[in-house]
A and B are shown apart, each in its own frame.
Chain A
């Protein structure tokens, strides 16, 4: 075992989570993120977004969050992206893929995004000392149970997030009604 591996173990990382995995997943996520915003064909963008979502799910696994990783794959890559692909096939992509892809104000948008990137960079560089090197390990085996306790409550008592969970169900109900009414023939 090399010294880098040893220090990785000492800083609370599991042996499977080698830095190479992180760099591969992060590079894949960013590269396909670039593909999402540059492709001419919207279907290619959607497929690139699926790759991004899956690599972010891999990063969640490296962060000891298996339940969030599963939700990411099932809800995002499985549900939301299918919705996107259906809508892309319903609307006419031949015509929109032929004309100009970027709007006339794109230099302004790019400048604003670069300003935001500069802000993020300065925050990360200046605030480096605030983030501890050592991460506190989470119990991976009971992750789903702990999330369920916070969401649904434990032993008859309401959990910390039970009320927020109910509000989220209301939000989903409103979203269903909105989607159904929006797609009716006569509004």
Chain B
């Protein structure tokens, strides 16, 4: 059996990224769109940690930790906006969030 190299991790991360992108572009439920964004961030984190292992230093892992901080901030603010929107319009459908559409 072939030993696992950086390339294997890159393939997994690419698959997760594309899955997240499909979710963001096609789903109508805002909560699931936000979850797909978390999938994308996880794919990026996996790449960073794999490269950190490839080069033998810790910069990738530190960046991954900062991205986790960012994901937490994004989830908190995004879900806050979602609750405010649901209170006003009684829906969580992306197609009906079009107040800023010209």
A residues lining the B interface (CB < 8 Å): 4, 7-8, 11, 13, 17, 19, 22, 26, 29-30, 33-34, 36-37, 42, 45-46, 49, 52-53, 56, 59-60, 62-65, 67-68, 71-72, 75-76, 79-80, 83-84, 87-88, 90-92, 96, 99-106, 108-110, 112-113, 116-117, 120-121, 124, 128, 131-133, 135-138, 143, 146-147, 150-151, 161, 164, 168, 171-172, 174-176, 178-183, 187
B residues lining the A interface (CB < 8 Å): 1-12, 14-29, 31-32, 34-36, 38-39, 42, 45-46, 49-50, 52-56, 58, 61-62, 64-66, 68-77, 79-84, 86, 90-95
Task: Compute the total of residue contacts between A and B using a CB distance below 8 Å.
Answer: 254
Given A80-B75, A182-B83, check contact A36 B39 (CB 8 Å): yes
Is there an interface contact between B53 and A33, defined as CB atoms closer than 8 Å?
A: no
Is there an interface contact between A96 and B95, defined as CB atoms closer than 8 Å?
A: no
Is there an interface contact between A19 and B86, defined as CB atoms closer than 8 Å?
A: no
From A79, A132, A183, B54 is in contact (CB under 8 Å) with A132
Decide if the interface of chain B is mainly helix, strand, loop or mixed: helix
Residue from B1, B26, B91 having most chain A Cβ neighbours under 10 A: B26
The 4 residue pairs across chains A and B that have the minimum distance between CB atoms: A109-B25, A136-B56, A182-B80, A175-B73
From B65, B81, B94, A71 is in contact (CB under 8 Å) with B65
Complex Cα distance, B90 from A92, in Å, reads 8
Is there an interface contact between B56 and A36, defined as CB atoms closer than 8 Å?
A: no
Given A100-B28, A113-B25, A175-B72, check contact A52 B39 (CB 8 Å): yes
Is there an interface contact between A91 and B92, defined as CB atoms closer than 8 Å?
A: yes
Complex Cα distance, B81 from A179, in Å, reads 8
Is there an interface contact between B95 and A103, defined as CB atoms closer than 8 Å?
A: yes
Residue ID in chain B nearest A112 by CB atoms: B25
**Can you list 30 contacts pairing A with B, beta carbon distance less than 8 Å?**
A11-B5, A19-B1, A30-B16, A36-B36, A36-B39, A37-B36, A49-B35, A72-B45, A76-B42, A79-B72, A83-B75, A83-B79, A90-B83, A102-B27, A104-B95, A105-B26, A109-B24, A113-B18, A113-B25, A116-B18, A117-B18, A133-B3, A133-B5, A135-B5, A135-B56, A136-B53, A136-B54, A136-B55, A138-B58, A175-B72
